[in-house]
Structure 1
């Protein structure tokens, strides 16, 4: 969610402006935590069983990398040489999965801050050495969800961004269509591709042969939208529960429609994120000094997730239960929650915090270049990186 208006192995283009962003603080390398649980979308809604977090990662591998043409390979060893993977990965969504589709601008703005420090501040190069202050177009201090799933598929990282790939070409590893600020029905910026436009671009590449039948036959798709459609739900006049429920129904139905389109085009496996507890984002918890989640925002998320389970009925479609994974860390009952929650000392506050509630991480004063944000010393102790996005550890 890029909105603030209530809102190698990583391939880093050699942008001089991104290099010029300076602030020399250096965080310890964040650790990775991949708490992912899955729901079988084919099971009847009333019989959905959420698997324990410890088994979720294993099941993710089994479901995605089963004998149906996709083979699991070990994650690449440290070093520059790439190891072949039998999987091809395609990523659709918003800024939670964007790895470079939004452009760099001069000066840096809220919509291009992912190309400037402190984003990428925990970057690690192909030899395993820290290279702090290396933004890569990701809304994180290092890796994002799609990178972790890519490594499970035997890839080094999420596939290249569509906007940074030569025309009529597709990397053997696949392609990322996810774009910061995008929504399912709408986007925070009119020029940002919504889900249907992302899928349409994919369709054109399939039809003209840029994406080959061989790639489709071993393809895995991630659809990762994290709530931009609900950013201004009060602003657009959805005040009554009936109107809100109807709107949420449109969002989930549109996701299902596009997933079906992807399956018809020949993809073999589709992972669909459900909605995380949006009321726990620092953008919502800032008003109470980062102490509690907004229960009404989280209610909208649960309605979305219930609807999603009902409409995701196609074979080979699996829902990634992000809501439970997040909740077990940031919003669990005292004494409960996952073991991983103990790692995060600051669960509801951001590592990178803007000085103004309407500002953003990475913001500088236009005249003096004074930093209008602060950055924590230990990002691996924070679940959230900025007002919306998780840290590499999160």
Structure 2
């Protein structure tokens, strides 16, 4: 989440450009008549750190902070490559399906007993486009999925009882702000290209034969600790809200468009509203004592959770009770945060998957 000022300016520009545009359209499944019940026993996962369970390699060193303490301190009490103290969205969706969390692609040869539950291709830091971190973008992740099918790891019959989960959490926008010194003049074209590519990728999953595809919208970016730190974690950065809403509106529209013309059904999974409900303590929300304060806080604006200096001294501090915090580090939720938000995601998933 580097270069905060430029990224904030990018999002603020979106908010100005799209302020008068339409409101959200409720995410739902669209398409042909569907059976009342569909058995899903395999989950294929694509996207970024909000769903990655171990694909970011340790060879990146401290860039892959998820493989170092204190990540994983809640579950499974050691680092496993998840950007959290414990479970992430993938784990909750898999548990909802009553299956084990699908094996990360990177260790597929060492955990073949998990293959019956699908596979996770998501890589932290990735985007729909390349994001400059050598991570596989969404197209490349789907390439790896196709290769697993071509190699006979997963059959066409396997796909009939599967669903895909795709997390898009904003890395493309961040990278644009770092890459293009004149990005403010290129926002319209960038958004158009971004959603055009997402459409291609989703249509490809449909063509491969995945019957249900779930795509997350953008979470409340202005509420992550990276941006609330200047206010000592007392207020969200409200100027980005309309920008996020515009992205989410486009996700909803794309889901409707694709669902109306294929045998695959699509769901816009509203993580934005789910997290806002937790933040605002909506009725039924699990109370989080520290909704904006991260559990693992860097000691300066130039360091991150999990970093150490040359002498091995920690450049961060860790709370005693992660379950009291919505956010784990500067941008990622805690296990408790995901659990609280998932309670608001459960009904739409149940309806979409007819469970």
TM-score category of the 2 structures, normalised to the smaller one: 0.7 to 0.9
Q: Equivalences for 1:223-262 in 2 at 5 Å?
A: 223-237=166-180, 243-262=186-205
One of 213, 221, 226 as aligned partner of 1:283: 226
Could you tell me how far 1:47 is from its partner in structure 2?
Answer: 8.7
SS in 2 for 1:165: helix
- Residues 256 and 301 (structure 1), Cα distance of their counterparts in 2 relative to 1, 3 Å cut: same
Cα separation, 2, equivalents of 1:210 and 1:68 = 29
Task: Identify which range, 202-211 or 263-272, moves more after superposition.
Answer: 202-211
Cα separation, 2, equivalents of 1:287 and 1:380 = 24
Equivalent in the alignment of 1:173: 117
Cα separation, 1, equivalents of 2:127 and 2:26 = 28
One of 90, 98, 102 as aligned partner of 2:56: 102
- Residues 383 and 286 (structure 1), Cα distance of their counterparts in 2 relative to 1, 3 Å cut: same
Contact 2:225 2:292 in 1 (8 A): yes
One of 130, 139, 161 as aligned partner of 1:196: 139
Cα separation, 1, equivalents of 2:226 and 2:23 = 33
Question: Which structure 1 residue ranges, 5 or more long, are not aligned?
Answer: 8-44, 51-58, 61-65, 72-85, 125-131
Could you tell me how far 1:208 is from its partner in structure 2?
Answer: 3.1
TM-score w.r.t. length of structure 2: 0.80
SS in 2 for 1:253: helix
Contact 2:55 2:123 in 1 (8 A): yes
Cα separation, 2, equivalents of 1:295 and 1:238 = 24
Cα separation, 2, equivalents of 1:302 and 1:238 = 25
Cα separation, 1, equivalents of 2:235 and 2:269 = 25
Question: Which structure 2 residue ranges, 5 or more long, are not aligned?
Answer: 6-21, 260-264, 338-355
Equivalent in the alignment of 1:375: 318
One of 303, 318, 329 as aligned partner of 2:278: 329
Could you tell me how far 1:46 is from its partner in structure 2?
Answer: 7.7
SS in 2 for 1:70: coil
One of 82, 86, 92 as aligned partner of 1:148: 92
One of 155, 163, 167 as aligned partner of 1:220: 163
Contact 2:24 2:249 in 1 (8 A): no
One of 49, 57, 74 as aligned partner of 1:122: 74
Cα separation, 1, equivalents of 2:171 and 2:102 = 23
SS in 1 for 2:74: coil
Cα separation, 1, equivalents of 2:292 and 2:24 = 32
What CA deviation, in whole Å up to 9, does each residue of 1:294-329 have, x standing for no partner? 223333211111111222222310010011111222
Aligned-residue CA RMSD in angstroms?
2.8
SS in 2 for 1:393: helix
Equivalent in the alignment of 1:63: none
Equivalent in the alignment of 1:340: 285
Contact 1:94 1:182 in 2 (8 A): yes
Contact 2:213 2:266 in 1 (8 A): yes
- Residues 162 and 240 (structure 1), Cα distance of their counterparts in 2 relative to 1, 3 Å cut: closer
SS in 2 for 1:328: helix
Could you tell me how far 1:148 is from its partner in structure 2?
Answer: 0.4
- Is 1:70 the counterpart of 2:22 in the alignment? no
Cα separation, 2, equivalents of 1:273 and 1:162 = 21
TM-score w.r.t. length of structure 1: 0.72
One of 13, 25, 30 as aligned partner of 1:48: 25
- Residues 233 and 287 (structure 1), Cα distance of their counterparts in 2 relative to 1, 3 Å cut: farther
- Is 1:270 the counterpart of 2:213 in the alignment? yes
Cα separation, 2, equivalents of 1:340 and 1:385 = 18
Q: Equivalences for 1:379-394 in 2 at 5 Å?
A: 379-394=322-337
- Residues 329 and 249 (structure 1), Cα distance of their counterparts in 2 relative to 1, 3 Å cut: farther
One of 237, 245, 255 as aligned partner of 1:294: 237
- Is 1:113 the counterpart of 2:65 in the alignment? yes
What CA deviation, in whole Å up to 9, does each residue of 1:6-27 have, x standing for no partner? 49xxxxxxxxxxxxxxxxxxxx
What CA deviation, in whole Å up to 9, does each residue of 1:328-375 have, x standing for no partner? 223x4xxx734426x112112211000011211011112x11111011
Could you tell me how far 1:48 is from its partner in structure 2?
Answer: 3.2
Task: Identify which range, 370-379 or 285-294, moves more after superposition.
Answer: 285-294
Could you tell me how far 1:68 is from its partner in structure 2?
Answer: 7.3
Could you tell me how far 1:250 is from its partner in structure 2?
Answer: 2.2
Cα separation, 1, equivalents of 2:175 and 2:45 = 25
Contact 2:23 2:249 in 1 (8 A): no
What CA deviation, in whole Å up to 9, does each residue of 1:279-298 have, x standing for no partner? 11111111221122222333
Could you tell me how far 1:277 is from its partner in structure 2?
Answer: 1.2
